Amino acid sequence: DAGVIQSPRHEVTEMGQEVTLRCKPISGHDYLFWYRQTMMRGLELLIYFNNNVPIDDSGMPEDRFSAKMPNASFSTLKIQPSEPRDSAVYFCASSPRGSAYSNQPQHFGDGTRLSIL
Amino acid sequence: GIQVEQSPPDLILQEGANSTLRCNFSDSVNNLQWFHQNPWGQLINLFYIPSGTKQNGRLSATTVATERYSLLYISSSQTTDSGVYFCAVLKFPGNQFYFGTGTSLTVIP
């Protein structure tokens, strides 16, 4: 089975430009997560979806960040306008639905390395 | 949120040596995963282990949920084991994983 697919793998753009990161979760997984990894802050959860509905976006740093999941097989994370401090590796992960008292492991994509100049 | 502490922060091993990585967490958890981030940045699932012991080849993991810690054992280490090992925990009803700061492992030939 194909894993979580992210695109692009690398993105270099100038400050102020709009950036769109894309994610295709594993088929059949009900949960989708967006993470950001930096040297200073480690791995941080930005937002997660359950059945295409955003459940917790408390990790989204500010209004410049937005995420959507229009269907079960696609999600985007958008930054507009981008700033140099947004430079990081952005990971998407998905997991299947668990029971009420259990959860299933998360599977990560290969990440998008974003550099804002 | 839950505090996750990993130790040691850095580890250098000679190829063939064994090691134990530790993950302590500040609250009871419903889920725990170990990941390996390889030198290419990929995050690879190692174990999904909210409690008990699991083994996969040269790697094994034990979680003692009542005492709020988990251990990852690497035996007969190889250079391909190099990278950063993360522990992540989750507590219901939320669905947020809290990651530790990782253990950076370097295996030298």
Residues near B14 by beta carbon (within 8 Å), at least 6 away in sequence: B77, B107, B108
CA B30 vs. chain centroid, Å, equals 16
Which residues, in sequence order, are CB contacts of A1 under 8 Å at separation 6+? Answer: A26, A27
Can you state the percent helix, strand and coil of chain A, rounding each to 5? 5, 55, 45
More confident residue, B1 or A85: A85
Q: What are phi and psi of B65, to 5 degrees?
A: -65, -35
pLDDT digits (tens, 9 = 90+) for B33-84: 999 999 889 999 899 998 999 999 999 999 999 999 999 999 999 999 999 9
pLDDT tens-digit profile of A48-60? 998 999 988 888 9
The mean per-residue pLDDT over the stretch B81-93 comes to 90
As a whole number of angstroms, the distance between CA A79 and CA A36 comes to: 13
Query: A48 and B96 in contact by Cβ < 8 A?
Result: yes
Which of B45, B86, B94 has its CB closest to that of A43?
Answer: B86
* Structure letter (DSSP) for residue A80: S
Candidates B43, B47, B63, B91, partner chain A, best to mutate (most A CBs within 10 A) = B43
Looking at residue A103, its pLDDT comes to 58
Of the CA atoms within 13 Å of residue A26, those in its CB half-sphere come to 19
Tokens 């430079």 label which residue?
A87
Q: Among A27-31, A100-104, B20-24, B92-96, which range has the highest average pLDDT? A: B20-24
DSSP per-residue string spanning A40-61: TTEEEEEEEEETTEEEE-TT--
Tell me the range of A46-55, A104-113, B16-25 where mean pLDDT is highest: B16-25
| Neighboring chain A residues of B43 at a CB cutoff of 8 Å | 91, 93, 108, 111
* 3-state SS class at A26: coil
Binning pLDDT at 50, 70 and 90, where does residue A98 land?
low
Query: What number of CA atoms fall less than 13 Å from residue A27's CA on the CB side?
Result: 2
Quick one: which of A2, A9, A60 has its CA closest to A33? A60
CA dist B34 and B46 (Å) reads: 5
Q: Give the N- to C-terminal CA distance of chain A in Å, as an integer.
A: 36
- Please give the single-letter amino acid code of residue A84: P
Report CB contact under 8 Å: A103, B94: no
CA pair distance B62, B67, nearest whole angstrom: 12
